[in-house]
Structure 1
Amino acid sequence: MATIDRHAVRTASAFAGVALVVAALAACATPPPGASVSTPPTTSSPPPSSAALSSPAPLSEDEATALVLPGACEDIYSDAMFAHLTATAPPLNDPGHTTPSTELAAGREVLDVAPSLRCTWGGPSEYGLSTNVTIVDAAQAASVEQAAVESGMTCKPHAEGTICRTWEDLFVDGELYATVGETHYFRDNGWVATHWTNFAPEGYTEDIVATLWPSLAPTE
């Protein structure tokens, strides 16, 4: 049950009484006929200061280049690359394609907790690839990149970030069984990881970088 604040009730009653007295005095103070009544001059509000009208502060370089996680796999490729993948390695996101986008233990730990978009091409077979576009903090990015270097991947600068690659041929009884590889790209809060098997489209990761970071893509 609600508790009544008796002090508030007494205060409200007191204000009500004061209001009645003020109203009565106002009625008695009506000027006689012919008397002039002066009104106080009106004042206008000062114009807003220039600071209030100024535009928002520009974004910092890090804020301007920060990656926003795409909403769909179609959004991470150029039209030409998407058409190529559709023609050469369908389907997109087959539920039977469960290969992770990296074999790096540090990378899998980050993928378990970080916001990420997973895109796969090809069915559950020895042909296709899987990619994750992931939002990472500085510590997570450094951990995965260090793991990539320690695993023997070749890393170099690319589009104001770092791209790392590795690949190897797998043999069974002396016969070539499959060629597998990984490519990783790190830039600010973004990490693009791809693991592929017998399917490595030329310029695949570079196309994703140019699509997600268009202002950072190389011009040559």
Structure 2
Amino acid sequence: MKIMHLTIELIAGFFLLFIIIKFVGKKIINQITPFTFISAIVLGELLGNALYDHQIGILYVIYSMVLWGILLFIVEYLGQKSLWFRGLFEGKPSALIKNGVVDREELRKNRMNINQLQSLLRQSETFSIREVAFCYLEANGSISILKKPQYQKTTLQDFNLSGTPVYVPVTLIRDGEVLWDELKDLGFDEHWLKVQLSSQDISDYKDVFIAEWLEGDGIFVQTYQFQSSPSN
């Protein structure tokens, strides 16, 4: 009887887990954010504890997993609709190295030291800080690196060319909302942004899916109709 009971719970748990992952999204598998990492652990614990606790029946297994799946879906839905909610649950990247200089304050905010930063760099096949122009600590704890031109895989030294300045792209509009702090840091204002958008026949910020500025290459805009083009 116990074998039959366990078999039913396993089958129910298997298909519920499959449905939840398909329903919520693939992010929970890759554990892109701390929240999805914790959610995956809790989901596994809910199923595991329910299966091996003989006091818990199949209805409790179904109820706990369905409720957790609904909560996950609500969080993901709100994250798509609200930048504030997205930032709260997903966080945002931290620039640990800017223009080749380690930002000690950002290290402190992320409770990291220089040894840990160097370890992460080595894991990304970067063995010296001098090679790095920009380094970002992503929300899931991984790092993204933009190397200086002379240290990139195909280097300018191979062609006897002088080095050129390195710039990092800056997102100005995301999901129809202007990132005013980013715009201000670049030294631009709302009038400049409106001129840039109007040059591409865009009159409303809310029509913009993403707008990105790159020094020397201009602004890149993609609307919700998937129309995109660069402009200087």
Task: State the TM bucket, normalised to the shorter chain.
Answer: under 0.3
More strand by share: 1
**TM-score scaled by length of structure 2:** 0.22
Bigger CA radius of gyration: 1
Q: Which has the higher contact order (CA 8 A, sep 6+)?
A: 1
**With structure 1 as the length reference, what TM-score do the two structures score?**
0.23
